[in-house]
């Protein structure tokens, strides 16, 4: 048996098992799904054991296939890491970086800085995966994650990338003209409130404020729920309700008079956002450059 073919087919098997789909794995490998399916059939015949369970909707590993996946996938990861490490021996900025981040840091903190960086370093490959849920960046093979300082694991190295995060309640003039504005926090319960949802099980409908130095929470009606800050802001701009957002997210709209602030004297402020990575992370020149690019420079 040709060793290189065996190696290539094992790598293809890992991709199929990882994606749980011949179509998605074929896209990643730049081959046709039918050709990939034939390769997996041939691999099973050569090994004389069934590796994959196939249905019309999905693909899953058999017990033997899962064992093979668990033992071979880390080896391919190590090979990829060593190949990426070769960029240490060149003066060129080259390599692939994967970042897992919530929506707001992606738009407000990362993209504005990487725009020019990527234009100046065309051989840098970047994947920014927006995910409002917590993620195990090591298990999911991300180079970096982004979280608030209050949510960081102790076994990670953290680099501050933002100012502190102040929240604010806002509504559009059209909404205020139609329904009026809240006079106090209790009034919020009588308004149409636009709520952010980070996942199907958790909605940010308990808004927090600092009243006379004490944390004060108000549970508001979930009149509209979106798992995207961009949609929450859009709905507020369109006069569909009152919402509670990071002030940096709506600062331009406030200055332009498109959104009106309430309760500014009791806004709560949360810790800054941090870029974090594993302590044993192998840092290539492009990774070091990205860390310095995103590092918060202000006091």
Specify the fold of 90-160+272-294: D-Maltodextrin-Binding Protein; domain 2 (3.40.190)
What's the CA gap between 159 and 105, in Å, rounded? 14
| pLDDT at residue number 90 | 58
Residue 152: per-residue pLDDT: 73
Residue 144, CA distances (Å) to 115, 158, 212 in order:
18, 10, 38
Please report, rounded to a whole number, the percentage of residues in the chain having pLDDT higher than 70. Answer: 95
Neighbours of 44 (CB within 10 A): 18
Q: Measured between alpha carbons, how far is residue 33 from residues 70, 71, 162, 219 in Å?
A: 23, 25, 43, 50
DSSP tag of 232: H
CA separation, residue 190 to residues 202, 220, 239 (Å): 22, 8, 16
pLDDT digits (tens, 9 = 90+) for 6-56: 788 899 999 999 888 898 888 888 899 889 999 999 999 999 999 999 887
Residue 275: per-residue pLDDT: 93
Quick check: do 90-160+272-294 and 165-270 share a fold? yes
Residue owning tokens 């800054």: 272
Please report the pLDDT score of residue 107 as a whole number: 93
Looking at the chain, how many residues does it have?
A: 299
Evaluate if residue 82 carries a pLDDT over 70.
yes
Q: State pTM to two decimals.
A: 0.66
Question: 276: left (phi > 0), else alpha (psi -120 to 50), else beta?
Answer: beta
Is the domain covering 165-270 a CATH 3.40.50.300 domain?
A: no
Q: By percentage, how much of the chain surpasses pLDDT 90?
A: 58
Distance CA 76, CA 17 (A): 14
**CA within 13 Å, CB half, 65:** 23
CATH class of the domain whose range is 3-75: mainly alpha
Residue ranges covered by each domain of the chain = 3-75, 90-160+272-294, 165-270
Q: Mean pLDDT over residues 277-281, rounded?
A: 83
pLDDT tens profile 177-214 = 999 999 999 999 999 999 999 877 788 899 999 999 89
């Amino acid at each position: 048996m040709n060793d290189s073919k065996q190696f290539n087919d094992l790598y293809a098997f890992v991709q199929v098992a990882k994606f749980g789909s011949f179509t998605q794995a074929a896209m990643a490998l730049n081959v046709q799904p039918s050709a990939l399916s034939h390769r997996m059939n041939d691999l099973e015949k050569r090994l004389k054991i069934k590796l994959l369970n196939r249905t019309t909707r999905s693909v899953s590993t058999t017990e033997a296939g899962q064992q093979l996946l668990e033992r071979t996938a880390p080896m391919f990861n190590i090979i990829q890491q060593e190949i990426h490490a070769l960029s240490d021996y060149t003066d060129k900025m080259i390599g692939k970086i994967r970042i897992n981040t919530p929506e707001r840091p992606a738009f407000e903190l990362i993209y504005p800085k990487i725009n020019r960086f990527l234009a100046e370093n065309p051989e840098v490959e970047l994947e920014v995966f927006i995910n409002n849920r917590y993620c195990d960046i090591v298990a999911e093979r991300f180079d970096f994650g982004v979280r608030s300082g209050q949510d960081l694991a102790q076994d990670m190295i953290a680099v501050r990338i933002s100012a502190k995060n102040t929240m604010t309640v806002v509504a559009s003039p059209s909404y205020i003209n139609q329904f009026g504005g809240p006079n106090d926090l209790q009034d919020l319960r009588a308004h149409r409130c636009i709520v952010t949802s980070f996942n199907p099980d958790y909605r940010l409908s308990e808004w927090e404020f600092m009243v006379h130095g004490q944390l004060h929470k108000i549970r508001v009606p979930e009149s509209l729920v979106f798992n995207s800050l961009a949609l929450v802001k859009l709905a507020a701009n369109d006069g569909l309700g009152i919402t509670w957002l990071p002030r940096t997210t709506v600062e331009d709209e406030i200055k332009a008079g498109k959104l009106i602030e309430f309760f500014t004297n009791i806004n709560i402020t949360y810790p800054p956002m941090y870029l974090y990575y594993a302590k044993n992370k192998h840092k290539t020149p492009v990774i070091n450059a990205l860390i310095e690019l995103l590092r918060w420079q202000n006091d």
